[in-house]
Copies of this chain bind each other. A is one copy, B any other.
């Protein structure tokens, strides 16, 4: 059930990692994350940091994106209390028990998942400084599974900057 990461460096002048000091580079990475189903919230901070290390890029911008319309990304203090509170807030924002047109049409029972994902958003962008994202002490980046069943998610990480 662990996460897995894959890295592809797209050097601007060279395909070889790590980036030459000061040379501009673009890096593409992936995090493969199996989820346990609805409102599984996973801390991906550590795996994202490892991808950044793989890239050899020290300063720039990091974007992480979920391909798919029933997942979302944000940051939060990842402790069980806030996780529970965020789940309850998402349920209040788009309750699962009311009627959804998407339900009626497609019978996949996840109309609320779609609405939640559109409102929270599919990507988040961070500054990268001296090889790390300067998170707050109590701040982690999380993937929120909003679909009603377990999924195998592939999150895409793009880093642009200089080595």
A contact residues vs B (CB 8 Å cutoff): 10, 12-13, 22-24, 26, 28, 59-61, 63, 65-69, 74-77, 79-82, 84-86, 89-90, 92-94, 100-106, 111-112, 114-115, 117-129, 134-139, 142, 156-158, 160-162
Contacts and interface: CB of A to CB of B under 8 A. Distances in A.
Contacts of A84: 101
Minimum-distance CB pairs A-B, first 9: A127-B158, A68-B136, A81-B101, A81-B102, A67-B136, A76-B118, A69-B77, A84-B101, A81-B105
Given A28-B127, A127-B156, A134-B156, A69 B75 contact: yes
Contact of A134 (B67, B104, B118): B67
B67 A160 contact: no
Q: Determine chain A's interface SS by DSSP, over half rule.
A: mixed
A127 B65 contact: yes
Contacts of A90: 119
Nearest to A117: B76
Copies of this chain per assembly: 3
A59 B28 CA distance: 9
A48 to B, nearest CB: 14
A135 B68 CA distance: 7
A16 B89 CA distance: 48
Contacts of A118: 74-76, 82, 86, 142
Contacts of A124: 121-123
Contacts of A86: 114-115, 118-119
